[in-house]
């Protein structure tokens, strides 16, 4: 499976995908990294691994439609099978999401559907919830509402700060994003309505796959 990754900044989840794809048995490869900011740190990281990169700077386009047409064209030229958003800080229109429906995924630093949007970790701590985590989901026109592929949960500690919580959640993001890509590449994922069905996918240690798939021999 050929992956195109969209980034806006440092690209830490991009790096996790790069590491996964470096394994010869991993069923995917990164065809292109696209950044909407020429200063995105992830560009140098990807280039250093001999991965093709390009900048599609949203500030140079007259409107969002023209910007997204350029993204779509670049992804298609790269023969992408899947687009992975990895810290891509632009809302996408229903047009682009529709063009890549079922072939575009995102990772969000909360246990969706809770805490959609920005400033997640501050809101988690303010709410008093005892668990947080991250979610990999298919992208839908509504923000952070697409069918869920995988989630990982961690406890919220009494002395957590937003930065400390974010760092621990990020560790889990780096684990479940490659997991979700692998499941898709191995054709174990099927969207049914607003849910994801998984085929022959055992529950991964530390990851809550939604819906949970029992391992062989489980009751």
User: Which among 173, 165, 121, 132 has a CA at the least distance from the CA of 149?
Assistant: 173
108, 121, 137, 174: the active-site residue = 108
Residue 54, classified by CB atoms within 10 Å of its CB into exposed (0-12), middle (13-18) or buried (19+), is middle
Sequence-ordered list of residues with C-beta below 8 angstroms from that of 48, at least 6 positions apart, any chain: none
Per the CB < 8 A criterion, the answer to whether 196 and 40 are in contact is no
Q: Per the structure block, which two tokens stand in for 36?
A: 């909407």
| Strands in 36-167 per DSSP E | 53-55, 82-85, 104-108, 131-138, 148-155
DSSP 157: P
Annotated active-site residue 119? The verdict is no
Q: Rg (Cα) of the chain, in Å, rounded? A: 17
Q: Which residues are catalytic?
A: 108
């Amino acid at each position: 499976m050929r992956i195109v990754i969209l980034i806006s900044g440092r690209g830490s989840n991009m790096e996790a995908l790069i590491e996964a794809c470096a394994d010869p048995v991993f069923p995917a490869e990164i065809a292109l990294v696209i950044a909407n900011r020429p200063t995105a740190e992830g560009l140098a990281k990807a280039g250093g691994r001999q991965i093709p990169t390009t900048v599609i700077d949203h500030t140079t386009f007259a409107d969002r439609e023209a910007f997204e047409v350029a993204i779509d064209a670049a992804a298609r030229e790269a023969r992408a099978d899947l687009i992975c958003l990895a810290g891509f800080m632009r809302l996408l229109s229903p047009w682009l999401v529709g063009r890549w429906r079922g072939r575009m995924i995102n990772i969000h630093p909360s246990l969706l559907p809770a805490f959609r949007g920005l400033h997640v970790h501050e809101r988690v701590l303010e709410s008093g919830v005892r668990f947080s985590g991250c979610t990999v989901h298919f992208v839908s026109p509504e923000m952070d509402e697409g069918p869920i592929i995988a989630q990982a949960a961690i406890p919220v500690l009494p002395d957590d700060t937003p930065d400390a919580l974010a760092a621990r959640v990020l560790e889990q993001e780096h684990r479940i994003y490659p997991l979700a890509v692998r499941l898709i590449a191995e054709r174990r994922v099927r969207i049914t309505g607003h849910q994801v069905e998984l085929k022959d996918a055992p529950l991964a240690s530390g990851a809550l796959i939604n819906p949970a798939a029992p391992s062989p021999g489980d009751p």
